[in-house]
Amino acid sequence: MTKQTTIVWFRNDLRLTDNPALKAAIDNGQIIPVFIVDNTAPESGVPGGASKWWLHHSLLSLNESLNNQLVIKEGNALSVIQALIEEFSATHVVWNRVYEPWKIKRDVNIKTELKLKGIGVASFNGSLLWEPMSVLKKDETPYKVFTPYYRNGCLTRQSPRFPIAKPDQILIHPSAQFNLDALNSLALLPDIKWYSDIEAMWEPGESGAANRLQRFIAESATQYQNDRNIPAVKGTSLLSPHLHFGEVSPNQAWYAILGAFENAFDNKDLDVYLSELGWREFSYYLLFHFPELPTKNFNAKFDHFPWRKSADDLLAWQFGNTGIPIIDAGMRELYKTGYMHNRVRMVVGSFLVKNLLIDWRDGERWFWDTLLDADMASNSSGWQWVAGSGADASPYFRIFNPILQGERFDKEGEYVKQYCPELRKLPNKFIHKPWEAPAEILRACDVELGKTYPKPIVDLKVSRTRALDAFAQVKAMAQETQEQS
C-alpha cells in the first residue's frame, strides 16, 4: 500500500499520547504537524493574555516532542492549509474536533472545500468522553439538567474510548521545520513580564500534565470530596489548563483514576472527581446544542434583569479591592497565578452578579482574559450557572455569603493571608470581616481600613436584599408576559 503525506492540524490537542488524529496520520504514512493561529476568529474567540502565555510554552513543548518539526502558521485556516497541501504535496488532512460554534462552522467549510479538491479529510474525537451529538433524551432533545445527562445519558452508554498509547515512531516530512520567529511573531508573550508568579507555579506541556495527574492521584484523589472545597489546600487536580489545551485528554484522566483505584465509582471521593469531569463534558454539551450560551441568557427571563453599570465596582472586583477578604483573595490569586480555586470562583461570581448586580458577561470576559484555563464552554456555562440564568443553574436566590464561606472553608484564614498579606496579623475571628474588629485590634495589626485595606464597597445585607428585589421584579415581569401570551 502506498504511504501518503498527511497534514495533522493541531488545535486544543497539544500532545502525542491519546491523539486519534495523529495516530490516523501516522498509520497513513509521513506527516506534517501544523499549528495555525486563525486570524479570522471573532473577537470573542481570541485567547486572553493568560491563555496566550500558556499557549506559547505549550507549543514549545509540543515542538520539542516533534523533533523540532512543528510548523507554525498564522492566517485564514483554509488558505493556510491549502498552501501547505501545495507546498508538501499532501494528500490528506486530519484534525481532532473542537466545539466552539464559530470553529464548527469553519471546520465544516474547510472539510467541504478540501474534499471538492480531492483531498482526503477526517476528523476525530480527541477532547471529550462523550460527544454532544451522541447523547440525547428519549425524545431526541438535549438534556438541560446535569444529573440525568451524566448518570442516564452518559454513564449508561458505551464507556469512553480507552486512551491511545504514545506512538513509538513518527515519520515527519523532512521539509517540515520549526521556526522560532514564526512563533514569536504571534506575540503570545506580553512586552511586560507580569507572569513571573505564573511561570513559577505551572509547567505547560504534555509532561507537565502527566506529572500533575500523577501527583493528584498520589496525594489528593482519595480526599477529593472534602479537600476540593478548601482553597488553602491543594485538594483539586489543577488539571484544567492542561485539559483546555489538550496536553492531557479527559480519557487519560478518567482511566488513570479507574486504573489506580479498584471500584472507583463506589468511592465517594473518586466518584465526585469523575463527576467533575462530567461537568466539563456538560459544559461542552450545552455549548454545542445551545451555541448562543456565551452571550445570551439561557433562561430568557433574565433578559429583563436590571443589571447595574458601575465601572468603579467592576474595577474593584477585578483587582481584589472590594474590602471583602475572601473575594479579594480570590481575585488576587487569579491575577497573580492565572488560576482561582473552584469554590472561590463560585463565591466571587455570586458577589459580582448578586451583591454588585453587575452583568455576568462582564465577569465572563474578565475570566476569559485572566484564566490560564479560559475555556468558552466552561467559562460561559459556569457564569450562567452562578448567575441563575443557565441550565441546571444555582437558583438566583442562592446568594453566597462571603463571610460565612470564608469562615467555613478558610477557617484559619490561610488563603486570605496568602493573597491579602496586609491582613495577616488579624485574629481569625476578624480575618473575614475586618470592619467588625475593634479599633485597637486594627491598630495593633497595622490595619487601617480605607488606607492599608479597602473598606467594603457594598453592605452585604443591603445588597442581598437589593438582589432579591431585582429577581422578584424579573419574576413578576416574566409572569405578566406569560399571562398575556
The residues assigned a catalytic role are 276, 279, 307, 342, 360, 383
| Set of cell numbers at residue 386 | 452562578
Residue 284: name the closest of 380, 140, 385 by CA.
380
DSSP state of 392: T
471: Cβ contacts below 8 Å, ≥ 6 apart: 305, 388, 396, 397
Distance CA 367, CA 241 (A): 13
Distance CA 342, CA 190 (A): 27
| Set of cell numbers at residue 271 | 466518584
Question: What are the CB-based long-range contacts (under 8 Å, 24+) for 429-434?
Answer: 431/325, 431/406, 432/325, 432/326, 432/402, 432/403, 432/406, 432/407, 433/325, 433/403, 434/325
Residue 55 · residue 49 · CB < 8 Å:
no
CA distances from 191 to 49, 120, 184, 194, 334 (A): 11, 41, 12, 9, 20
Angle between helices 376-387 and 360-370 (to 10 degrees): 150
Question: What DSSP element (H or E) covers 269?
Answer: helix 268-289
Angle between helices 402-409 and 342-350 (to 10 degrees): 160
Q: What is the sign of the dihedral through the CA atoms of 324, 325, 331 and 332?
A: positive
Residue 278: name the closest of 149, 97, 393 by CA.
149
Q: What is the sign of the dihedral through the CA atoms of 298, 299, 300 and 305?
A: negative
| Set of cell numbers at residue 164 | 491511545
145: Cβ contacts below 8 Å, ≥ 6 apart: 391, 392
Distance CA 59, CA 121 (A): 24
Distance CA 206, CA 280 (A): 20
Specify the 3-state DSSP secondary structure of 202: coil
Q: Is 412 left (phi over 0), alpha (psi -120 to 50) or beta?
A: alpha
CA end-to-end span of the chain: 66
